[in-house]
Amino acid sequence: MKRNSRLSLALHALSHMAYDTGDAQTSADIADHAGTNPVVVRRVLGKLRAAGLLTSERGHSGGWRLARETKHITLADVYAALGERLVASEQPMETDTCAVERALDARVQQIMREIEESLVERLEHTTIADVQGATRQLPSHAH
């Protein structure tokens, strides 16, 4: 994996967990399926848990569970949980430049924020259930 892997991994993991809402899914299983490492999974899912999207249980037969139905988890929720900022970024304003420079800087940053907002609005319209969508009626998921 390389870029945007956190978002991608999160979607992967969430969709995966939705298959088996009965059993808790272990980091190791999820990591296997997503082609990565259990620690990486825990790192990413930890953020989703902090945002209330899922829960984890320690100890024997522990693992991860969805905290809500997939249709009530939007990609915007996931995006926010991960703290991603694909477009905008907080850049401290330079104080030693002239007024025109500062105004232009501010304007560019404002535009970037507006685009970020549009992106989030778009993400609100897709849920994990939508992601699962086409793959939902595939046969068994055993390996």
Partner DNA sequence: TTTATCGTAACAATGTCAGTTACGATATGG
Partner DNA sequence: CCATATCGTAACTGACATTGTTACGATAAA
- 28 vs 42: CA distance, rounded Å: 9
Q: Is 13 exposed, middle or buried (0-12, 13-18, 19+ CB in 10 A)?
A: buried
Q: Please, what is the minimum distance in Å from the beta carbon of residue 137 to DNA? A: 27
Asked if 143 touches DNA (CB under 7 A), the answer is no
Q: Which residue has the tokens 């999207």?
A: 53
- 5 vs 8: CA distance, rounded Å: 5
For residue 6, give the amino acid letter: R
Out of 12, 15, 17, 64, the only residue in the binding site for DNA (CB under 7 A) is: 64
Q: Which two tokens stand for residue 128?
A: 């994990």
Q: Please, what is the minimum distance in Å from the beta carbon of residue 136 to DNA? A: 23
Asked if 93 touches its own copies (CB under 8 A), the answer is no
- 36 vs 32: CA distance, rounded Å: 6
Asked if 62 touches DNA (CB under 7 A), the answer is yes
Out of 112, 113, 124, 129, the only residue in the binding site for its own copies (CB under 8 A) is: 112
Asked if 28 touches its own copies (CB under 8 A), the answer is no
Residues forming contacts to its own copies in the complex (CB under 8 A) are 1-4, 7-8, 11-12, 15-16, 33, 35, 75, 85-89, 91, 94, 97-101, 103-105, 107-109, 111-112, 114-115, 118-119, 122-123, 126, 130-135, 138-141, 143
